[in-house]
């Protein structure tokens, strides 16, 4: 890279030097005392290596390649596409609204998608890539097998490609579409800058290892969020997203029938709620053991192909995450926390927010103060959407979100 740059600079230097020699002869003949001729001659004598060094200074340094979370403020812009694609944000908004009215389940799927993208490798649309000869797709990682919304992103992207080809990144589309989704499902609107770029690789292994499982305990959850800069308060606020959407029975079945290998239900579950959940998710032999995010169990159970598996497992059975929550009429977020206060968290990971004072106090706060929740959730979503972004010349703007070019 450096060698190439040096050769390039050398050639430019020779061309400019020839021009400078002629100019210098002319200037010295007609204006012998002007000093211009001297300057031109000193340029001819200067070393192209010096110029290379000064050109190199402008090339982004390695440490700038992957900006840290705080750098989002430095690199992203309030409306990055104001000149290149002024209608970008509006196109995402209108497109989302149209698709939401046809199928409302897309909104929660996109909110989950932004979490799974931004948590692994940052908000770089790595989650959208199909496997390539040099990497495996994150979509194949166990926690992502139930991820949805890829078609929604593709559809928005092709609309944008028609209006401003090659301009709007898939990473920006994910965060913008997720913001729309939160708003459409009754959540707050939050501030987003744009200018993210798309990764050239996917991180399947990290996705399998680092996305928290629905069986995770509080300390695992908190340390996973803390390693990405989130406080316990922000973690509790983000989980308010579990007031929308669905979960497959597989993800909490152990709690109903064989909690920690006891052959009984999780004693922390509200007894009436437990009965309701059991009705919705009858016992399914093939999913009664092992962690639901373990590649072999969840892959098999969520993608059962033979008919016996389909009968035995709850492969297609889902419940609303806000199923029978106490605060049914309280809207986005608040109903989730009210449910937790009544031991009605569907997944073990949700109920873990009540396990210790440091998170329980926020569950109580948010259950009783809608405005505080909406403020905290907004800030946490902006922060999540700015996690480890790619900017400048790093990465690319994909033409098709599932492929690099
Ligand atoms: C401890 C952390 C978390 C765990 C263990 C977790 C786990 C899960 C699981 C297992 C599902 C069910 C998926 C399915 O059955 O299709 C789910 C759904 C969902 N999650 Fe999370 N999640 C976590 C954090 C988050 C965060 C931080 C957000 C967003 C800010 C989020 C948003 C959602 C949404 C909206 C759904 C519903 C998806 C749909 O209806 O398609 N989750 N989550
Ligand atoms: Ca990513």
Please check if 161 is assigned to a binding site. no
Q: Which ligand 1 atom is nearest residue 214's CA?
A: 5
Contacts of 211 (CB under 8 A, 6+ apart): 116, 119, 120, 141, 143, 144, 293
Residue with tokens 């908190």: 222
pLDDT at 12: 54
pLDDT at 23: 63
pLDDT at 303: 33
Q: Is the CB of 377 under 6 A from ligand 1?
A: no
Residue nearest to atom 5 of ligand 1 (CA): 214
- CA distance linking residue 385 with residue 194, whole number of Å: 10
pLDDT at 105: 98
110 C-alpha to center of ligand 1: Å?
A: 10
Residue of 99, 242, 243 to mutate, ligand 1, most atoms within 8 A of C-beta: 242
Please check if 126 is assigned to a binding site. yes
Q: Which helix (H) or strand (E) holds 246?
A: strand 246-248
SS3 labels along 96-163: HHHHHHHCCCHHHHHHHHHHHHHHCCCCCCHHHCCCECCECCHHHCHHHCCCCCHHHHHHHHHHHHHH
91 C-alpha to center of ligand 2: Å?
A: 23
82 C-alpha to center of ligand 1: Å?
A: 33
Q: Looking at this predicted complex, what is its ipTM?
A: 1.00
Burial of 290 (0-12, 13-18, 19+ CB in 10 A): middle
Q: Which ligand 1 atom is nearest residue 105's CA?
A: 40
Q: Which ligand 1 atom is nearest residue 146's CA?
A: 16
pLDDT at 146: 97
Residues labelled as active-site residues: 116
Per residue in 158-201, pLDDT (tens digit) is: 999 999 999 999 999 999 999 999 999 999 999 999 999 999 99
pLDDT at 324: 81
- CA distance linking residue 83 with residue 309, whole number of Å: 54
pLDDT at 30: 56
Residue nearest to atom 42 of ligand 1 (CA): 112
Please check if 143 is assigned to a binding site. no
pLDDT at 55: 39
pLDDT at 26: 57
Report, as ranges of residue numbers, the positions in the chain whose pLDDT lies below 50.
1-6, 9, 32-35, 37-40, 42-43, 45-60, 67, 69-70, 287-290, 295-312
Please check if 117 is assigned to a binding site. yes
Q: Is the CB of 146 under 6 A from ligand 1?
A: yes
Query: What length is written for the chain?
Result: 405
112 C-alpha to center of ligand 1: Å?
A: 5
pLDDT at 310: 38
């Amino acid at each position: 890279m450096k060698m190439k740059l040096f050769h390039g600079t050398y050639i430019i230097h020779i061309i400019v030097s020839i021009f400078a020699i002629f100019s210098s002869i002319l200037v010295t003949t007609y204006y012998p005392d002007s000093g211009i001729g001297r300057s031109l001659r000193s340029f001819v004598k200067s070393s192209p290596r010096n110029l290379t060094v000064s050109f190199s200074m402008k090339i982004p340094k390695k440490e700038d390649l992957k900006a840290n979370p705080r750098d989002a403020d430095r690199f992203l812009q309030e409306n990055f596409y104001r000149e290149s694609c002024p209608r970008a944000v509006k196109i995402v908004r209108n497109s989302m609204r149209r698709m939401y009215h046809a199928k409302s389940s897309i909104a929660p799927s996109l909110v989950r998608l932004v979490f799974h993208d931004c948590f692994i490798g940052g908000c770089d649309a790595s989650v959208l890539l199909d496997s390539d000869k040099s990497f495996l797709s994150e979509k194949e990682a166990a926690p992502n097998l139930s991820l949805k919304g890829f078609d929604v992103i593709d559809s928005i992207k092709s609309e944008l490609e028609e209006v401003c080809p090659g301009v709007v990144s898939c990473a920006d589309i994910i965060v913008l579409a997720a913001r729309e989704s939160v708003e459409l499902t009754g959540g707050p609107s939050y501030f987003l800058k744009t200018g993210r770029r798309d990764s050239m690789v996917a991180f399947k292994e990290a996705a399998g290892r680092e996305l928290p499982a629905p069986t995770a305990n509080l300390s695992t959850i908190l340390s996973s969020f803390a390693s990405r800069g989130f406080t316990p308060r922000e973690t509790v606020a983000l989980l308010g997203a579990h007031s929308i959407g669905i979960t497959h029975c597989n993800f909490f079945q152990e709690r109903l029938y064989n909690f920690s290998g006891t052959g009984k239900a999780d004693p922390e579950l509200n007894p009436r709620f437990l009965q309701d959940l059991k009705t919705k998710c009858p016992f399914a032999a093939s999913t009664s053991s092992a962690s639901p995010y373990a590649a072999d169990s969840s892959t098999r159970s969520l993608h059962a192909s033979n008919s016996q598996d389909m009968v035995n497992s709850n492969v297609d059975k889902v419940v609303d995450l806000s199923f029978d929550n106490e605060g049914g009429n309280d809207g986005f977020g608040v109903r989730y926390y009210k449910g937790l206060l009544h031991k009605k968290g569907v997944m073990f990971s949700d109920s873990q927010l009540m396990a210790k004072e440091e998170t329980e106090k926020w569950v109580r706060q948010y259950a009783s103060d809608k405005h505080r929740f909406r403020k905290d959730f907004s800030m946490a979503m902006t922060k999540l959407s700015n996690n480890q972004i790619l900017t400048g010349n790093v990465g690319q703007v994909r033409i098709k979100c599932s492929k690099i070019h």
